[in-house]
Amino acid sequence: MAYIRVRFSGILLMVMVMLGCKDVKENKETATKRMARPELDLTEANRLAGLPLGCMQTEYPNRLGQTLHDSTHINNPKTLHPAFYGCFDWHSSVHGHWSLISLLKQFPNLDEAEIIETKLAENLSKENIASEIAYFNMKGNASYERTYGWAWLLKLAEELYTWDDPLAEELATNLQPLVDVIVQGYIDFLPKLNYPIRVGEHSNTAFGMSLAWDYAVTTDNQPLQDIIKQSVKQFYIKDIDCPLEWEPSGFDFLSPCLQEADIVRKVLPAKDFKHWIKNFLPELTKPTFKMETGKVSDRTDGKLIHIDGLNFSRAWCLYGIAKTLPEYDYLIPIADEHLKYSLPSIVDGNYEGTHWLGTFALYALNHSE
């Protein structure tokens, strides 16, 4: 009997050692994955800056996305949008400007810093912004770029607001009248929206409110905060069991489920968000959660390449959840893998992707810290 106990104890010790080794191996693998996370260093910053710099004053090709009410709406892009005429469409031009300002703030020694500052001053002049406002005031244009372009305009304004630089102060002053138009647009529109728009493209309500919320908090704009908080609670607070397995759709560059989680985590206190997400995305609460990266079949197709953007937006949402709820840190390697899949492919010379994907990559990298 003593022999059996000794032998059993020996076996038990071996099992415990093996399990311990397994835990050490898994911890090392996790650490290795995190060490391999893409980083925003000066080399990467220069690479990303080259994308919007190369298109911010490139007028064609261009997608105006307008509804013509009379002949006064017909003109070339630069005349209609002297500030934001480049990078294929208005919203991409806006967030391209945001990208350059974000990168300049973080890396003042960018290779093309002087050229970037010159082009920013040229595009975001007081006169050009006045023309942009005039376009929004034209008949039928009140809903122009609602709310995707609106959101990026407020993100651009927020970036200028938080940049301690003489150029930023000048550009922020120039931009403010258009910012006021957009803020009022949100305040007027959201109370009339009875149902949220739950898609993976531009009109996604959660994304539009997420960037607007950041601006409202940073600038202490209480009326905008109030209307967004009210809308979030109206639209999302009772949601449960989001069908994450239905994603992605073929043209998604946003995850409807994760994007909703992203705005709710910003608006709710962390303890309330923790309770909410257990009901909304129960599978996400398990440390064994997996999410395969979105695969792109043809990067020359302007719609199919949206999936690269989806990988970046999934990443920033997952990083955000882990930041709000540190016990969800097992989501970080999943976010890293999404970044690593698409990051090398955004500078392939294909304008269908290069005119906008750099912004999504940068936004994800900014959230990975």
Predicted confidence at residue 73, as pLDDT, reads 87
Structure-block tokens of residue 114: 């002087």
Look at the block and give the residue holding tokens 């959101």: 151
Cis amide leading into 108 (omega within 30)? no
Given a cut of 60, is residue 348 above it in pLDDT? yes
Question: pTM (2 decimals)?
Answer: 0.90
158-214 pLDDT, tens digit each = 999 999 999 999 999 999 999 999 999 999 999 999 999 999 999 999 999 999 999
281-299 pLDDT, tens digit each = 999 999 999 999 999 999 9
Instruction: Answer yes or no: are the C-beta atoms of 274 and 325 closer than 8 Å.
Output: yes
Predicted confidence at residue 369, as pLDDT, reads 81
* Count of residues making up the chain: 369
In percent, the amount of the chain with pLDDT more than 90 equals 85
Given a cut of 60, is residue 17 above it in pLDDT? no
Quick one: average pLDDT of 257-279? 98
Ranges 23-32, 36-45, 292-301, 351-360: which has the least confidence: 23-32
Given a cut of 70, is residue 18 above it in pLDDT? no
114-158 pLDDT, tens digit each = 999 999 999 999 999 999 999 999 999 999 999 999 999 999 999
Cis amide leading into 166 (omega within 30)? no
